Amino acid sequence: MRPIFSLLAIGFFAFAFVSFAKYSDGIILFRGFGYQVEFSLMMFIILQIGLIIFLYLSLKILSFVLSSKRKILAYLKSRQERKEISRLKGAIKNLVAGETSILYEQAKKYIREGNAASKEMLLVAARAAHLEGEYSDRDIYIAQLEESEADDIYLTKALMLIDEGRHHDALGALHKIQKRSVGSVRAELAALRIGRNWDRVLTLIKVARKLNAMNSDACHRIELEAIVGQLANLNMSLPEVEQVSKDAGKRIRSEPSFVLSMSKALWSRGAAHSAQEIVENYLKSAWDDALVKHYVQISENHNLLALEKVEGWLVKQPHNHMLLMALGVMCRDRELWGKSESYLRASDALNASAEVAYELSELYKIMNRLQESRAQLELFAVRQVGNF
């Protein structure tokens, strides 16, 4: 394409030159601008050929100069990029190796010298400053990057703010992201969990499942955490608590922590029967010591039916020290002193814990066996120290 352009340009100049000439009796006359010049035909041809050669060489030289300038600029840019890549590789190496102190000082010096750092270099520098606790420098680097209004910059900023515990600011950065991604959903979930915003966590976990942002087990754990967190809210009404139970999936309902939280929520709102029933239903097919202990606490002292249920569980698990201790406490609360001592002693024989010593001390105090009560209380203190 370039040779064709050169020929056309040369032809144009040759035509312009000829247009001023006039041929007469073997002589070429040039008239123009008040002058007249005569050339023989041969001389005119030689001049034409010379002009063509001159114009061609001039165009070649001009083309070479322009292309050389571009090549030089491209070379200088390429050289700068290679240096930046080499510097970035070294920075990443230090970051991975945990040499953040060295990296922070190097990056700080390089940027303060007025060098034009790349986006990637600024990101690494911001991360190093964050890990070193130099939050003011980190914020300066991030502020420079935020001018690009790129989603990955806002995500990086949010992740560092989450590390710092500033979940409100992290959410502010995440809300600037134009297109939701796996990383942004994970970060938003982390920020919401720190802020205990369980309603939004449950809404966002549905998005996480759609995006495949995490595996099903991780989603389940976060959903369970959010539901348990909801149930801990004392401002929830009884109908709201019951609705949470209805909305919960089968896998959630099979979790002992959910059953325990639901039972506590129902009990605290006056639904004692429902609180006991949900525990009983769970323990028909599974077992959890914490649920048994809770069941004892919410059972009314005069309710012998609850005691019979727990004794029925003991048939299936005769060597469960926690169950034996629970029965000892239930019998003590129902003034069945002999059975209470028997169960508590059996529990102590299986697992000599500080807790069972305390329960025996309480029993002996009620029975007015004060010396034995003091002995158990001393044993409780010894065992407590041994647990630390």
Taking a C-beta distance cutoff of 8 angstroms, is the pair 59, 75 a contact?
Answer: no
Domain endpoint, select from 55, 80, 97: 97
Give 2's pLDDT tier (boundaries 50, 70, 90): low
What pLDDT shows up at residue 116? Answer: 67
Between 103 and 72, name the one with better pLDDT. Answer: 103
Say whether pLDDT at 356 is over 80: yes
Q: Which of 9-23, 105-119, 150-164, 242-256 has the lowest mean pLDDT?
A: 9-23
| Residue 338, CA atoms < 13 Å, CB-side half-sphere | 0
- The pair of three-digit structure tokens given for residue 334, joined into one six-digit string: 């129902």
Whether 250 is covered by a domain: the verdict is yes
Structure tokens that stand for 322 in this block: 């926690």
Alpha helix stretches (DSSP H) within the chain: 2-18, 41-97, 100-112, 119-131, 135-146, 151-163, 167-174, 182-194, 198-211, 216-231, 238-247, 250-253, 256-268, 272-285, 289-298, 304-316, 321-333, 337-350, 354-366, 370-386
Q: What are phi and psi of 37, to 5 degrees?
A: -125, 135
- What does the pLDDT read at residue 10? 53
Predicted pLDDT of residue 348? 92
Distance between CA atoms of residues 369 and 278, nearest Å: 38
Q: Do 310 and 296 meet the contact criterion of CB atoms below 8 Å apart?
A: yes
Q: In total, how many domains does the chain have? A: 3
Q: At what angle do helices 119-131 and 41-97 cross, to 10 degrees?
A: 20
- Please indicate whether residue 259 or residue 117 has the higher confidence score (pLDDT): 259
Q: Give Cα 12 to chain centroid, integer Å.
A: 67
Shared domain check, 287 and 311: no
Q: Which residues face 35 on adjacent strands?
A: 32
Average pLDDT of the residues in 117-138: 82
Split at pLDDT 50, 70, 90, the class of 201 is very high
Whole-number pLDDT of residue 20 = 47
* 306/384 same-domain check: yes
Question: What's residue 44's pLDDT?
Answer: 67
User: By residue range, what is the domain housing residue 310?
Assistant: 299-388
In a domain, 103, yes or no: no
Each residue of 21-71: pLDDT tens digit?
554 555 666 665 666 666 666 776 777 787 778 777 777 777 766 666 566
Range with the largest mean pLDDT of 6-20, 149-163, 295-309: 149-163
Mean pLDDT of the chain: 82
Tell me, yes or no, whether 387 and 315 share the same domain: yes
- What is the mean predicted confidence (pLDDT) over 74-80? 58
Is 145 part of a structural domain of the chain? no
Domain edge (last residue) among 55, 76, 97: 97
Neighbour tally for 304: CB within 10 Å: 13
**Pair 25, 88 in one domain:** yes
What Å distances lie between residue 261 and 196, 267, 285, CA to CA?
16, 10, 18
Order across the sheet with 21-24: list the strands.
Answer: 21-24, 27-32, 35-40
Q: Do 6 and 91 fall into the same domain? A: yes
Half-sphere exposure for 136 (CA within 13 Å, toward CB): 0
Interior angle at CA 350, CA 345 and CA 312, nearest 5: 75
Q: What is the mean pLDDT of residues 333-351?
A: 92
Q: Does residue 85 sit in the same domain as residue 60?
A: yes
Shared domain for 13 and 93, answered yes or no, is: yes
CATH code: domain of residue 328: 1.25.40.10
Last residue of a domain, one of 31, 62, 97: 97
When computed from its CA atoms, the radius of gyration of the chain, rounded to whole angstroms, is 43
The Cβ-side half-sphere exposure at 231, using a 13 Å CA radius, reads 25
More confident residue, 48 or 196: 196
Q: What is the pLDDT of residue 172?
A: 93
Structure tokens at 195: 């802020």
Encoding tokens for residue 245?
């139970």
- Same structural domain, 321 and 278: no
Domain annotation covers residue 333: yes
Confirm whether 289 is domain-assigned: yes
Name the pTM for this structure: 0.69
